[in-house]
Amino acid sequence: MLNGEGVFRVKDARMLLNECFLPKDSTATRSIPIKINVFAWKVYLDRLPTRLNLTKRGIQVPSLLCPVCNADHEDTSHLLFSCSLANEAVCLVCRWWNLTWSPLGSYSDWLSWFNSLRLCSTTKGLLEGVFYQIMSQHKPTGEGKLDGIRLNEKQVDRIKTSESVFLVRKTS
């Protein structure tokens, strides 16, 4: 693989591979910490270590059911959007931001809903950070177990603190 000058460069090969394999998303995520940005990327690619994904990779798990609600298989969509704990957390955020929420079934549904919100870009960037922070708190089986269906005070305080940190970072 030679470039226009007839020379092979690793940089050119890497750029070509990035163009072919990395998702092309024009959504800016600068107000989101890199850890959360990587998490969002894993969600987009369905690469979270959920029970269903672990099974697909040949890892045995005791049950495919979500350990929080036991209502459905633990996959990315269930973990972040269908599980009762996830719905409760998203409803809280929507209430804090005065947004109307109706349950969604997947990341692409959430992304469409989020992109349709009419907010100024700064506010929308902060809200996006808050949502990704909330989503990252819901650990799949491979990353630890959730304590219960209801959000406890410690979880709510952590969410509010995360939201405050985003606001302070963005305004300073």
- Establish if 146 belongs to a structural domain: yes
Asked if pLDDT for residue 149 goes beyond 60, the answer is: no
| pLDDT for position 73 | 92
Can you give the residue range of the structural domain that contains 80?
32-171
| pLDDT per position as a tens digit, 15-38 | 777 777 766 665 555 566 788 888
Q: What is the tens place of the pLDDT at every residue in 97-120?
A: 999 988 888 889 999 999 999 998
Give me the number of domains the chain comprises.
1
What pLDDT was estimated at residue 103?
Answer: 86
User: Distances from the Cα of 27 to the Cαs of 4, 13, 48, 151, in angstroms?
Assistant: 31, 25, 21, 30
Mean pLDDT taken over the chain: 78
Question: Could you tell me the pTM of the whole model?
Answer: 0.60
User: Would 79 be classed as within a structural domain?
Assistant: yes
Cα 161 to Cα 8, 123, 157, 158, 164, distances in angstroms: 49, 17, 6, 5, 5
Average pLDDT over residues 157-162: 61
Confidence of residue 145 (pLDDT cuts 50, 70, 90): very low
CA distance 120 to 100: 17
